[in-house]
Amino acid sequence: MTDRTLLGIVGSVSADSRTRTAVEVALDAAADRHDVETEVLHLADYDLATADGRGIDNYEGDTAEALELVVEADAYVVGTPVYRGSYSGALKNLLDMVPRGQWQGDVAPFENAAVGLVATGATDHHFLAVDQELRPVFAFFGAHTVGGATYASGDDFEDGELVDEEIRERLATLGEATVELSAAIDNSEALGSLGPAI
């Protein structure tokens, strides 16, 4: 598993982000237990262009830098705050620029890649957004999502820190599982060749 890069994508535009805190718990656990490098792509730190259908090579500045991080990574932990029962518009905008190896570019970074999913929300009402909204978009890309996602509500945090130990343990397991799934995909001819359904 040496030289594997696990990218945390934080779909929040808040600098003080509970979603980032949750994603970093997963990344830190993965790095502690596996020989992986971790990086964070926090959308609050990037001035991204609005997706308009152009190819990946036609973006510049922050947008090109963010897309390069996505393309260069081997596996992903993707976190989003939940708004109106779905993932953030900022994350949607980023995903709209990521190609599937077709007309938007000859790369398909999420295809046959391992993706762990994390969501945060003010209350527990939105926990199903992970499976109803976020998981299907990664199926569109042909990614392999880790079976168990993690959802954390506002009650799980105190002064910006994640204080619920059960959620912390679940996030740690998610990070480890994402790396292990990535290795399994690399070692399996079948898992590494499924790709998108269409």
CATH number attached to the domain at 4-186:
3.40.50.360
Residue 3, pLDDT above cutoff 70 = yes
Computed over every residue of the chain, the mean pLDDT equals 94
Residue 102 has pLDDT above 80, yes or no: no
- Show the DSSP H helices in 52-164 as ranges: 61-72, 89-97, 129, 135-141
pLDDT band at 2 (very low <50, low <70, confident <90, very high): low
pLDDT digits (tens, 9 = 90+) for 163-192: 999 999 999 999 999 999 999 999 999 999
The predicted pLDDT at position 17 comes to 95
Domain extent listing, the chain: 4-186
**Confidence at residue 1, expressed as pLDDT on a 0 to 100 scale:** 44
Q: Is 6 left (phi over 0), alpha (psi -120 to 50) or beta?
A: beta
- Phi, psi for 190 (deg, rounded to 5): -70, -50
pLDDT at residue 50 is higher than 60: yes
Looking at the DSSP bridge assignments, the partners of residue 114 are 75, 144
pTM of the model: 0.95
> By the 8 A CB rule, do 116 and 145 touch?
yes
Least confident span in 91-95, 121-125, 175-179: 121-125
Binned at pLDDT 50, 70 and 90, residue 30 comes out as: very high
Closest CA to 22 of 181, 139, 131, 130: 130
d(CA 69, CA 51): 17
d(CA 2, CA 69): 18
For 129-163, the pLDDT digits (tens) are 888 999 999 999 999 999 988 999 999 999 989 99
